Amino acid sequence: MEQTLTLDGLRWPRILSFVSGIGMMAASFLTIRHFFIANYPQNIFEGSFCDISAFLNCDNSAFSAIAQVMGIPLGYFGLVVGALVALGVVFPSESFERTNALISFLNLLGVIMLFIYSVFFLGSMCLFCSGFYVFAVLSFVLFWLYGKGRGKGQLFSKFFQPSLKILLAAACITALGAYGMIQYHDARRDAQAAVALRIVKQFRELPVVGNPSFISPYWTVRSTDNFEDAPIQLIEYSDFLCSDCLFLTQQLDRLKEEFAGKINIAFQFFPLDSQCNAVVEKNLYPGSCELSYIAAYDPARFIEIHDEIFANFNNARNPEWRQELARRYGAEEALSDPVTQDIVQTIINTGMEYVKTSDRYAYGIRSTPTMIINGRMIIGTLPYEQMRAVFQDLVEEFEGRKEFIEYWVPQKAKEVKR
C-alpha cells in the first residue's frame, strides 16, 4: 500500500503536518498584526519594538516595499497556506493532500525568494517571518518524505498532481479574503486622519520633559539661528544603523519640505553600540559609534555625510564601506580625534538626564529613535499623517491660530486617500 502523509491514521508525520500548518498561521498572524501596528498605530504610545539587532528586526520588513501587495499584507498569503495545510490534516483526502503538496512546493519557492530579498536587499531578517520559514520548510519536507506519489517521476507525482477543483475553491476563498484585507487596509489608512486628532491630543497631554542640557550642534534642518525660535523644535536621538531611524529620516525628509522655514531638527547622536554608549545596556548596532565619529568630525559636512549614510543604509554596516566613507570626506582621523569623541560622548550622555520611562531601563532615552518635540518625548516614530498633524498643530499654536481641531480633519481626510 502506498504511503501518504494524511491518510494513514494518526501517525506522527500527520501530527507534525498539522503543527506546521498551525505554526505558519500563527507566524503569519503576528506578521500581519505587526504590519498594521508599525504602519498605522492607533495612539502615540503604540510603537513597534521588534529589534534585537541590526540584522534581526521586524520593523525593517514592515516598512519595506514588499510588506504588502496592492494593500494586502504579505503575511495574509502565509495565513492561507497554513490554514490549507492544517485543514488537509483535519479533513484528509487524496485530492486535498496532492493539492497541498503543490501549495507547499510553491510556498517553499516563495520562502526562498523572500529570504534572499531580506538578507541581500533589506539586510535584515524578521523574527516572525523566520518562524514562518521554519514551518514552511517543515511542511515541504513532510510532503517530500511522506506525501503520496512514488516512482521515477517522484517530484512530479508528489507535487504536480493537484485537484483543480480544490485549487479553484481555494483561489476563490483567498480572493474573497484578500478583498476584505484590502478594505481593512484602506480603512486603517483612511482612519489616520481621525487618529491624527487623537494623536495631537495625546501629544499635548504628554509631560513636558524639556530639552537636554546640551543640544547637538549637528542640525539636519535649520530654520532659525536659535533652536527654540522655530515653531517646531525636534531633537532626534538617532542611530545610523537603526532601521526605525531610517524610516523616521524618510518621514522627516517629506515634512521638512512642507514645513520649510518653521522647523529645526537637531541630530542627537545615540549609537546603540557599546564601544561608545554606556547609557543603555544594548549593543544592537556595532559600527554605529564609528559612523557617529565620522559624521561629527567636520560639522560643515555633517548633513552631506548624514544623508549618504542613510542612503546607503545596508552598506553602512560594512567596515570597509565606513573606511571608504571616512577617506572620501577627509575624516580618517575621526576615530582617534579627542575633540570629536568628546562632543559625541557629551551628546550621548544627555540620555542620562531623562527619568526612566520603564522599569526595564535606567533612563528615559533608552532606544532609537526617540524624539523630543517641543519639550515632549516620543519613543519611536509615527506615520507621516500623524507626525504632520502634530507639526501642523504646533505651527498653528505658534502663529496664534486655534482652528486646527475644527478644520484639519474634514479638509485633510481627502488628502490621506491617495
Predicted pLDDT of residue 265: 98
Predicted pLDDT of residue 137: 97
Predicted pLDDT of residue 41: 81
Is residue 178 domain-shared with residue 38, that is, in the same domain? yes
In a domain, 1, yes or no: no
List CB contacts of 115: < 8 A, sequence separation 6 or more.
133
Is residue 67 domain-shared with residue 126, that is, in the same domain? yes
In a domain, 67, yes or no: yes
Is residue 214 domain-shared with residue 153, that is, in the same domain? no
Torsion of CA 218, 220, 222, 226, to 10 degrees: -30
In a domain, 198, yes or no: no
Is residue 19 domain-shared with residue 128, that is, in the same domain? yes
Is residue 220 domain-shared with residue 186, that is, in the same domain? no
Digitized pLDDT (tens) for each residue of the chain, 418 residues in all: 567 899 888 899 999 999 999 999 999 999 999 899 888 887 776 655 555 566 667 777 788 878 899 889 999 999 999 999 999 999 999 999 999 999 999 999 999 999 998 888 877 788 889 999 999 999 999 999 998 875 445 667 778 889 999 999 999 999 999 999 999 988 887 777 677 788 898 999 999 999 999 999 999 999 999 999 999 999 999 999 998 899 899 999 999 999 999 999 999 999 999 999 988 877 888 999 999 999 999 999 999 999 999 999 989 999 999 999 999 999 999 999 999 999 999 999 999 999 887 777 778 898 899 999 999 999 988 888 889 999 999 999 998 865 544 444 444 444 443 4
Is residue 210 domain-shared with residue 262, that is, in the same domain? yes
Predicted pLDDT of residue 176: 95
Ranges assigned E (strand) in 207-306:
219-221, 232-238, 263-269
In a domain, 199, yes or no: no
Distance CA 77, CA 111 (A): 11
Give Rg (Cα) of the chain. 25
List CB contacts of 40: < 8 A, sequence separation 6 or more.
188, 189, 191, 192, 195, 383
Predicted pLDDT of residue 280: 83
76: β partners = none
Predicted pLDDT of residue 414: 41
DSSP sequence for 167-211: HHHHHHHHHHHHHHHHHHHHHHHHTHHHHHHHHHHHHHHS-B---
Is residue 257 domain-shared with residue 313, that is, in the same domain? yes
Predicted pLDDT of residue 418: 40
Is residue 91 domain-shared with residue 167, that is, in the same domain? yes
Range of the domain at 163: 12-190
Distance CA 222, CA 228 (A): 11
Give the up-direction half-sphere exposure of residue 268: CA atoms within 13 A in the CB hemisphere: 26
- Domain-ending residue, one of 160, 190, 220: 190
In a domain, 155, yes or no: yes
In a domain, 297, yes or no: yes
In a domain, 7, yes or no: no
223 in Cβ contact with 36 (< 8 Å): no
Is residue 180 domain-shared with residue 215, that is, in the same domain? no
